[in-house]
Structure 1
């Protein structure tokens, strides 16, 4: 690497690897770390074996492709499981929640209050103030239905939460 002056080629690859690893810490993703590993591997090989710059660049490209491919295969195999599959899905998190109709549901569409926000809702016709339960979602639209039975079979008294 004549254009770098007196710096030996292995040091250039090792420095490039450290810079790429540092960039991985600053940028989101799992890509640059594998390029850093390829650069460090190329630097270690260049330190042990005297090889031309063209072969070093080719080995870096090959190591990069192999490490990125292997990492992708491993991440697909190992997966990225979570303890809460509905973590970033507000509609799925709302399933089972109780809502109050704020705009009458007519012809299957209206608005309901969930927590401190209003949502567009689809479900059976219901008057303002009716309490419903979220049964599903279609994108940002909540699917609602009548409340599930909240009392013991045969006991016709409403549940405590439904009493005035």
Structure 2
């Protein structure tokens, strides 16, 4: 087991990828780093392995490791106690409010809390009560309340 340029390179790649995971979280680089560590061990045990074989082995192990994480690893994650935390428009579904601006041509406006929201829905007059039934991006879908 001799330390060659290839073994040092794969050890460095593994360390860099695993360390990068701490700065760019997402559980993606970690698995690529583990794949690089496996290639490092293989190159350490079989020093005559060609560079092309090493790169193909790394690519294959990276794909397998990331896919395995996506299939089995994510199941173990805790469900969020606030799944709509960063989905502000979806948080408005179910609320009733008066139209601030009439819906003309399918578009209008409401004021919810401290913000004005564009709405889409049937033609309705300003001041009429509507219920938010959905969200399409940052546009709330409404229907007449009642």
Cross-structure match for 1:98: 96
Matches of 1:105 and 1:16, distance apart in 2: 58
Unaligned runs of 5+ in 2: none
Matches of 2:29 and 2:73, distance apart in 1: 20
Cross-structure match for 1:110: 108
Cross-structure match for 1:15: 12
Give the CA deviation at 1:22: 0.9
Which residue among 66, 69, 92 is the counterpart of 2:64?
Answer: 69
Cross-structure match for 2:125: 127
Normalising by structure 1, report the TM-score.
0.64
Contact 1:98/1:114 (<8 A) preserved: no
Give the CA deviation at 1:42: 2.4
Normalising by structure 2, report the TM-score.
0.70
Does structure 1 residue 46 correspond to structure 2 residue 40? no
Report which of the two structures shows the higher radius of gyration computed on alpha carbons: 1
Residue-pair matches, total: 140
Q: Which has the higher contact order (CA 8 A, sep 6+)?
A: 2
Cross-structure match for 1:139: 137
Tell me, what secondary structure is at the counterpart of 1:127?
A: coil
Deviation sequence 1:36-65 (CA, Å, 0-9, x none): 212222222333x3522625x523531432
Cross-structure match for 1:161: none
Unaligned runs of 5+ in 1: 1-6, 149-164
